[in-house]
Structure 1
Amino acid sequence: MAGVEQITVEAGEAGMRLDRWFKTHFPGLGFGHLQKLLRSGQIRVDGGRVKADTRVEPGQTVRIPPLEVDKKGESPLTGHSIRNQGDADVLAKMLIHEDPKVFVFNKPAGLAVQGGSGVTRNVDDMLEAWRNQKGEKPRLVHRLDRDTSGVLVVARTRLAAMKLAEAFRARETKKTYWALVKGVPPKREDKISTWLIKEPTPDGDRVRVAKHGEKGAD
Structure 2
Amino acid sequence: MRCIACCGLGATSRTAPLQPLKSKESNTYGGSVVKRIIGAGSAAPATGLTTAQSTDKPAVRRVVVDEGSAGQRLDNFLLRELKGVPKTHVYRVIRAGEVRVNKGRAQADTRLEIGDEVRIPPVRVPEKVESAAPAREFPVVFEDEHLLVIDKPAGVAVHGGSGVSYGVIEALRRARPTAKFLELVHRLDKETSGLLMIAKKRSALVALQDQLRERETGKTYAALVWGDWPAKLKVVDVPLVKFIGGDGERWVRPGKPDEQEAKRSIGLVKVMQRTPQFSLLDVTIKTGRTHQIRVHLQQAGHPIVGDP
Q: Could you tell me the TM-score, scaled by structure 2's length? A: 0.38
Aligned to 1:114: 159
2:206 alignment partner AA: M
- The 8 Å contact of residues 12 and 159 in structure 1, kept in 2 or not, is answered as no
1:45-56 to 2 correspondences below 5 Å: 51=103
- Of 93, 98, 102, which residue of structure 1 is paired with 2:147? 102
Separation in structure 2 between the aligned mates of residue 154 and residue 53 of structure 1, nearest angstrom:
33
- The 8 Å contact of residues 111 and 121 in structure 1, kept in 2 or not, is answered as no
Displacement after TM superposition at 1:191 (Å): 3.7
CA distance change for structure 1 residues 210 and 171 in 2, over 3 Å: closer, same or farther? closer
Aligned to 2:183: 139
**Greater RCO structure (CA 8 Å; 6+ sep):** 2
Separation in structure 1 between the aligned mates of residue 175 and residue 185 of structure 2, nearest angstrom:
16
Aligned to 1:44: none
Separation in structure 1 between the aligned mates of residue 180 and residue 188 of structure 2, nearest angstrom:
23
Displacement after TM superposition at 1:187 (Å): 2.7
More helix by share: 1
CA RMSD of aligned residues (A): 4.4
More strand by share: 2
What's the % identity of the aligned pairs?
33
- Of 57, 75, 93, which residue of structure 1 is paired with 2:113? 57
Per-residue Cα deviation, 1:46-91 (whole angstroms, up to 9, x for no partner) = xxxx549898635x699xxxxxxxxxxxxxxxxxxxx65x3x33xx
Question: Unpaired segments of 5 or more residues in structure 2?
Answer: 1-63, 82-101, 118-131, 264-308
- Of 157, 162, 165, which residue of structure 1 is paired with 2:206? 162
CA distance change for structure 1 residues 217 and 110 in 2, over 3 Å: closer, same or farther? farther
Separation in structure 1 between the aligned mates of residue 144 and residue 66 of structure 2, nearest angstrom:
21
Question: Unpaired segments of 5 or more residues in structure 1?
Answer: 1-6, 25-49, 63-82
2:113 alignment partner AA: E
Displacement after TM superposition at 1:143 (Å): 1.1
Aligned to 1:150: 194
Displacement after TM superposition at 1:178 (Å): 1.3
Provide the aligned length of Structure 1 versus Structure 2: 154
Displacement after TM superposition at 1:210 (Å): 6.6
Per-residue Cα deviation, 1:3-61 (whole angstroms, up to 9, x for no partner) = xxxx99648624687xx7xx99xxxxxxxxxxxxxxxxxxxxxxxxx549898635x69
CA distance change for structure 1 residues 177 and 198 in 2, over 3 Å: closer, same or farther? farther
- The 8 Å contact of residues 97 and 104 in structure 1, kept in 2 or not, is answered as yes
Separation in structure 1 between the aligned mates of residue 156 and residue 65 of structure 2, nearest angstrom:
39
Separation in structure 2 between the aligned mates of residue 142 and residue 217 of structure 1, nearest angstrom:
24
Separation in structure 2 between the aligned mates of residue 206 and residue 111 of structure 1, nearest angstrom:
21
Separation in structure 1 between the aligned mates of residue 254 and residue 72 of structure 2, nearest angstrom:
46
Aligned to 1:125: 170
Displacement after TM superposition at 1:116 (Å): 3.1
- The 8 Å contact of residues 156 and 167 in structure 2, kept in 1 or not, is answered as yes
CA distance change for structure 1 residues 57 and 51 in 2, over 3 Å: closer, same or farther? same
Displacement after TM superposition at 1:174 (Å): 0.3
SS at match of 1:93: coil
